[in-house]
Amino acid sequence: MGDVAISMILPSDLDFRICLVDFNTLLELQSDAERLRFSTRWSSVDALRGQAKEQDAVLQTLMRERRAGVIRSYRCLLLFSALGGAASGVLATIDLDPARLRIAGSARQGLRCQEGARPNLLTGAGRNLGS
């Protein structure tokens, strides 16, 4: 399998992202993770549907996994609203295909991201997402 290296992503790193993810894209990310056999994900799309409200979620890159010097996946924090009336959000992790970050600039991809070291200025779809 080659050498595996895990490294933290700092806010100053080029692959640091904070993204607003729509629910359909979250389902796609889960399907990607299942297909690519990533270890950090829900057990199934149905399990995700059973836990998360059909609302936007916030995703932040946290770690990168390299195999033989190539980034295989990004481990991300995911903040979402849970089914069952929880007043606060739920924090989970999910592994992300690096190709998803390369195409994240397009809102039609369902992943609207702020890149670089200024996550406090995150905006998307004409509304402020954080300050």
| pLDDT tens-place string over residues 42-93 | 999 999 999 999 999 999 999 999 999 899 999 999 999 999 866 778 999 9
Instruction: Let me know if residue 65 belongs to a domain.
Output: yes
Instruction: Let me know if residue 100 belongs to a domain.
Output: yes
- Total-model pTM: 0.78
Domain count, the chain: 1
Between CA 114 and CA 103 the distance in angstroms is 13
Amino acid letter, 112: R
Q: Which residues are CB-neighbours of 116 under 8 A, at least 6 positions away?
A: 12, 14, 16
Query: For residue 102, what are its two tokens?
Result: 């390369």
Between CA 123 and CA 61 the distance in angstroms is 17
How far, in Å, are 24, 72, 78, 99 from residue 56 at the CA level? 9, 25, 11, 20
Per residue in 38-55, pLDDT (tens digit) is 999 999 999 999 999 999
Owner of token pair 């057990």: 43
Residue numbers of the domain that contains 106:
4-125
